[in-house]
Chain A
């Protein structure tokens, strides 16, 4: 299947990161047109397109922009959220690194729509090379007068900063990002207000959009919202970047029209499962979304509705594939470790619950699981979900719940193995104790305490 290329059309040209290269392929044409439009008309186009936020939550972009009043007496800020840290997600990196001017053009369009004079690209700290590329692109745009006090000679002033994060997953949460940008710890803010558009950076109205979302705005404004709405499905219009990893033959970033069947995608695009093995499960939206079994994927398509209906979600498009040799208990432990490590520590359920779940999965994976551990892990996860300031609680709980729900036989088997092993060790210990007893109380072999003492010992052990 030939996919429509909206975002990745030009990433393979070596000079795409320079203004000359970008403009030779039609770059910075749309923004010149947009700067002559009514800002409200720009918002209208994006609303018509049905574009939904590509960072994970899927909130309609045009509606988000509309939270900013047309006439606003406070400064308005625009943030490009390029902190992509969700395990399995590396799609924004391609745009930042290989088509940085597309990101900048999208940002200027959004800035015009909400009349923002200052914007910031918050890029995750580990992205050294993408940082250098986008920073150089911003500097070049300043030199050409595409950023600054009078951009494109339109009289509109817009300044842009590239800000590096420093390795905190939580800063991808928009209010945590704002705190981080204000020079504080990156901890999410209490809601309400629910939207930074009401109170954002330094209390000013702020729009936070994902990099991919902003990049898509360029095509939408060039070709019209209606044209964009025709791509993909009715409720999930457009194309989406999928960052594909795991046990597949051709990992990488793919641009896919929404509504593409998952199984065809794996077979035809990703080159199938590596080493001739079989598919066991996928995580379609980054590791915080529930894992799905291979047998659940029949008829499921890559769009918001279909994946939610199938019991997972589109999320950020971090598509992770696991073959039939994957140990799901260890995979669950790996994911739980991530969320335990990355909790910002603000809310008790998440700070404590994350480590509880990790410990439970760890002991199950390492042959020390206890009967009831699955119920315990599920109960902890249920008590974290919905009881935290930000959505991290869900991000932590969903994978834990899903791994147990969809691969219960693996957990049960591990716990059963541990129980049998424990019983075997215990039996050996009883045997040893009997021999010891026999040696100590050599004249008293028919006394009943011979059996009683080891069993006491057993009870003491199991209480530990």
Chain B
């Protein structure tokens, strides 16, 4: 980062009006604006695909923090992507409960189907995948998360069917919490699967 880039707010980019008004509104909710750094990083990531250097500068400016501190936060947490990911980023849980019920088969399948390794992007920019630690869905293991949506009680065939549907229903699906279009209508939508995982009387 050069000194010029750090200088003043007028050298910082502008995100969409929606993002700008959203961060201004979020800042007011906290006792101190510094608390808004995490939501701000999410907003920037949603717009830019991953946390770029410009995103760091944007966040730093909006929450009045030195860019280096924003960088510190962005690199500490795994959910801020420091490198580009696919339009659909598949995170396959590898921790004990999923491992006991065959998570390794899912990873293997992703590898074969996409033809890329973990944290690589398919040439068309559509897909990437990685193995991640426990996603808190152990009762419906094995499972994976695609963008912000959980897909549970999986096996390689089910996962494949989900990928196919995403490819078919592509343009309107963001599976994003921020845009609140959490996979509407998609097979394996979260609620039904949670029911399957069974709260029992």
List A residues at the B interface (Cβ < 8 Å).
3, 5, 8, 11-12, 75, 77, 84-90, 93-94, 97-98, 118, 124-129, 131-132, 159, 161, 163-169, 180-186, 201-202, 204, 243-247, 250-254, 269, 283, 287, 318, 320, 322, 326, 330-331, 334-335, 337-338, 341-342, 344
Contacts and interface: CB of A to CB of B under 8 A. Distances in A.
A253 B199 CA distance: 5
A11 B97 contact: no
B182 A129 contact: yes
Interface stretch (B3-11, B38-46, B154-162): B38-46
Contact of A250 (B148, B191, B200): B200
Main secondary structure of the interface of A (DSSP, over half): mixed
A202 B31 contact: yes
A129 B195 CA distance: 14
B138 A163 contact: no
Nearest to A322: B100
B145 interface: yes
23 contacts: A84-B136, A88-B97, A97-B194, A128-B145, A128-B147, A128-B148, A129-B182, A129-B190, A166-B79, A167-B77, A168-B78, A183-B37, A184-B72, A185-B76, A202-B31, A204-B31, A246-B100, A253-B200, A269-B200, A287-B96, A318-B138, A331-B100, A334-B96
Q: Which of B78, B94, B100 has the most CB of A within 10 A?
A: B100
Interface residues of B, number: 55
Q: Which of B37, B38, B65, B94 has the most CB of A within 10 A?
A: B38
Given A163-B35, A250-B200, A334 B95 contact: yes
B182 A338 contact: no
A168 B41 CA distance: 15
Q: Which of B30, B38, B96 has the most CB of A within 10 A?
A: B96
B55 interface: no
Contacts of B65: 183
Q: Which of A3, A126, A167 has the most CB of B within 10 A?
A: A126
Contacts of A252: 139, 197-200
Interface in B4-38: 29-32, 34-38
Given A128-B177, A161-B29, A246-B100, 20 more contacts: A89-B138, A93-B136, A93-B194, A94-B194, A129-B150, A131-B177, A163-B35, A168-B76, A168-B78, A182-B32, A183-B32, A183-B65, A185-B72, A245-B141, A251-B140, A252-B197, A252-B198, A253-B198, A269-B200, A334-B96
Contacts of B89: none
B180 A247 contact: no
B77 A125 contact: yes
Contacts of A254: 199-200
Nearest to B194: A97
Interface string B133-152: 11111111100010111100
A212 to B, nearest CB: 13
B29 A159 contact: yes
Contacts of A318: 138
B186 interface: no
A87 B97 contact: yes
B77 A85 contact: no
B141 to A, nearest CB: 6
A126 B149 CA distance: 8
Contact of A320 (B96, B147, B191, B200): B96
Interface in B78-117: 78-80, 94-97, 99-101
B80 to A, nearest CB: 6
A283 to B, nearest CB: 8
- Of all A-B residue pairs in the complex, the 8 with the closest CB atoms, nearest first, are A252-B198, A128-B148, A166-B77, A245-B138, A183-B34, A167-B79, A245-B97, A167-B78
Nearest to A247: B100
A453 B11 CA distance: 71
B168 interface: no
Contacts of B134: 85-88, 169, 287, 338
B57 interface: no
Given A125-B79, A164-B39, A132 B30 contact: no
A166 B182 CA distance: 18
Contacts of A163: 35, 38-39
B138 A87 contact: yes
B200 to A, nearest CB: 6
